[in-house]
Amino acid sequence: MAKLKTFFQTKEEINAYEGLVLAWPCVEKISTHLISLLPTVQQKLIASAIQEAIAAYHQPYPFYMTDWERLAVYLIMTINFTTKILAGKMSFYEIATSCFLPRRMTAAFIEDTARKISMELIHA
């Protein structure tokens, strides 16, 4: 399988991803796993979804967001993207539980974060 960084178009995209991986080393393993779930012809599409998720991770919110909640936002966006591509063959939770998530990143925590920012979990 190709390295995730090869899917990014610009140095800025690579730097943004590497910055997130530096803060959260688990992101590399999770993102690589999500790519492995996608059909080969659609794997490059995840680069734009990851960039949008990184932007959402860094965006200012009108309320306090912990670093863990921000990581949950990244996960929600990337797992939702994967769920859409798989067209419901795997549920959000099936994908999430297969993703090597940190112990603290439970389904309940992800759901609470999604509710807090009014984000939908696709095929949950």
69 is a domain residue? yes
The 10s digit of each residue's pLDDT in 68-113 is 999 999 999 999 999 999 988 999 999 999 988 999 999 899 999 9
Contacts of 67 (CB under 8 A, 6+ apart): 23
> Does residue 5 lie within any of the structural domains?
no
What angle separates helix 11-23 from helix 46-58, to the nearest 10 degrees?
60
| Within-domain flag for 86 | yes
How many domains in the chain? Answer: 1
**pLDDT score for 7:** 84
Q: Which domain holds residue 76?
A: 10-116
Q: What is the pTM of this model?
A: 0.89
* CA dihedral over 76, 107, 100, 40, signed as positive or negative: negative
Residue 63 in domain: yes
Residue 122 lies in a domain: no
**Domain-located, residue 14:** yes
121 within domain boundaries: no
51 part of a folded domain: yes
